[in-house]
Amino acid sequence: MSVMRQSMMEVTDKEKINQFLHHTHIGHLGLVDADAPYVIPLNYVWFGNHLYFHGASEGRKTRIISKNNQVCFTVSEELGIMSNPIPAKVDTAYMCVMIFGNVTLLEDIDKSRDVMQAMLHKYVPGYYEKPLAKSHLERYVSTLGSKTAIYKITPTAITAKENKLDENVRFTPGRTIRMDN
């Protein structure tokens, strides 16, 4: 892993990274399909120091993973735009985490249920009155005839970066350069 060029933006606080991964909803899975990149947005859950996502048990993603299980998963969140009288210094505040690792298909039905329950709790907390039944995972088939596949990314490296928001220069509609001179 190479050294981050702007090391002052590097986030090394593991708790901050964990909290970010717990609350952010969309990540992008980066795969290599033959000699070309393939990136797809996904819902995910950070659970027990692994990243999990689900999808159809067949299709392009599944085919690529079966040939090359090395992945990169990126999660980012925009925190605001920062204005500046110098156009080249207009900036975006953000946080992002990149997880490099290996992805495997989760075969254990009990672990799969735990992961899917964690996803339901993350995305629709309190919506369901009962825990997810194991039988739902065993029997569910999509309208396209595909079963649900649950994947586990085991991290080999995690990097995080943050450009903190300066509230004094946060751009809001109506703000003009005259306000900053």
Asked if residue 30 is part of any domain, the answer here is yes
Q: Which pTM was predicted? A: 0.87
Residue 174 domain flag:
no
The CA distances from residue 167 to 71, 87, 88, 95, 109, in Å, are 36, 18, 19, 16, 47
For 151, counting Cβ atoms within 10 Å of its Cβ (0-12 exposed, 13-18 middle, 19+ buried), the class is buried
Please report whether residue 178 resides in a domain.
Answer: no
Query: Domain of 81: which CATH number?
Result: 2.30.110.10
Evaluate whether residue 158 is within a structural domain: yes
pLDDT per residue of the chain (181 residues) written in tens, 0 to 9: 555 566 788 999 999 999 999 999 999 999 999 889 999 999 999 998 999 999 888 889 999 999 999 999 999 999 999 999 999 999 999 999 999 999 999 999 889 999 999 999 999 999 999 988 888 777 766 666 667 889 999 999 999 999 999 999 999 999 999 888 7
Asked whether residue 180 is assigned to any structural domain, the reply reads no
Q: Which domain holds residue 101?
A: 7-163
Is 131 inside any structural domain?
Answer: yes
pLDDT value of position 180? 83
DSSP-based three-state secondary structure for 43: strand
What's the confidence (pLDDT) of residue 100? 98
Provide the CB-side half-sphere exposure for 78 (13 A, CA).
7
Quote the number of domains for the chain: 1
Residue 19 inside a domain? The answer is yes
Q: Evaluate whether 164 touches 77 at the Cβ level (below 8 Å).
A: no
The verdict on residue 181 lying in a domain is no
